[in-house]
Amino acid sequence: MPASYGFGIALPATPTNSFIGQLSFPLNNGAGWGGWSLSGDMKGPLLMAAWSDGTSVVSSFRQAANEKDNPPEVAGNFSVKPIAKGTAVNNTFLTYTFLCEGCLGA
C-alpha cells in the first residue's frame, strides 16, 4: 500500500490555544511538502507548511490571499516547536511532530 498524507492533533482535556500535532506525507526523491490548516478554506486562515531541507524538517506559517499564488510567510502570537522523538525524514517520507503554541484561534 503506498504511503499517504496524514495529519492529527492532540488536545488536553481542557483546551487552551495550543496543541500537539503530527503531519506525515510521502516525498519523491526527498522532494515535496505538506501542510495543514484548521479551516476548510485555503484563503485567509493560518496555514503551516513543512518540507525537508535534505537532512531535517523545516516549517513556516503562511497566509493565503488566493488559491493560485504561493502564500507568504506570516508571524504572530503563535509558534511551532518541533518534538524531536516524533520527527523523521528520509528520501521517501517525512513525519513532523510539533507543539503548536497559540495556534488555536490564530
Q: Cell 492533533 maps to which residue? A: 9
Tens of pLDDT, residue by residue over 53-91, are: 999 999 999 988 877 778 889 999 999 999 999 999 999
- Its pTM stands at 0.88
Q: What is the pLDDT of residues 6-46, one digit of tens each?
A: 999 999 899 899 999 999 999 999 999 999 988 876 777 78
* CA–CA distance, 32 with 24 (Å, rounded to integer): 12
CATH topology of domain 6-101: Immunoglobulin-like (2.60.40)
Confirm if 33 and 96 have CB atoms less than 8 A apart. Answer: no
Per-domain residue ranges of the chain: 6-101
Give the whole-angstrom CA distance, residue 57 versus residue 48.
Answer: 13
